[in-house]
Amino acid sequence: MIPAGAGAIGATVVLGVGNPIMGDDGVGLALLDALREARGGGTSDAESGGVRVEYVDGGTGGMSLLPLVEEADRLLVLDAVAGPVPGTVVHLAGDQVPRMLSTKLSPHQVGLLDVFAAARLLGREPSIVEVIGVVPESVDLRLGLSPAVAAAVPEAVRWAERLLDQWLPAGLGAQSHDG
């Protein structure tokens, strides 16, 4: 946790990943859109008081996301996360993140694992990486989220907002999205 009122801090990146034509695999992008709207909407990049928050649609970008990961001081990944009960909201931090990415729920997660490994080799990895996700019901070829996963989006967004509020200096969490 970043103490309130801390000095200048680096970029905070919120990265939504997933493929919206693969059913619940698109939940990361749905979370990104809902979080961005909840935080003041519309802007993909904002600066306020030396704090920059970027909201990035990573899609299934794989290694093209490396520069973004290298630049981030704190990285919040929004994604589908494997688990037994569809619609369950999951928060992962520390060593849990690489384990989640190695479960190969979808091809983009393997790409993210490679991105984090490359950033580590280059000595420019985020100081904090955490994941907020939702357990999918189906990652088959289809548009839209299943009812269980769609119903979990508001709760997952609240978790992500609480995390951002902890990371950002007091009073900047909500303002950082006003552009």
pTM of the model: 0.83
Residue 75 has φ and ψ, to the nearest 5°, of: -125, 125
Asked if pLDDT for residue 83 goes beyond 60, the answer is: yes
Domain boundaries, the chain: 12-167
112-116 average pLDDT score: 84
- pLDDT score recorded for residue 117: 86
Mean pLDDT score of the chain, rounded to an integer? 82
Residue 45 has φ and ψ, to the nearest 5°, of: -155, 130
Compute the half-sphere exposure of residue 92: CA atoms within 13 Å on the CB side of its CA: 21
Band of pLDDT at residue 13, cut at 50, 70 and 90: very high
- pLDDT score recorded for residue 178: 30
**Lowest mean pLDDT: which of 4-8, 69-73, 139-143?**
4-8
CATH topology of domain 12-167: Rossmann fold (3.40.50)
- pLDDT score recorded for residue 61: 80
Asked if pLDDT for residue 160 goes beyond 50, the answer is: yes
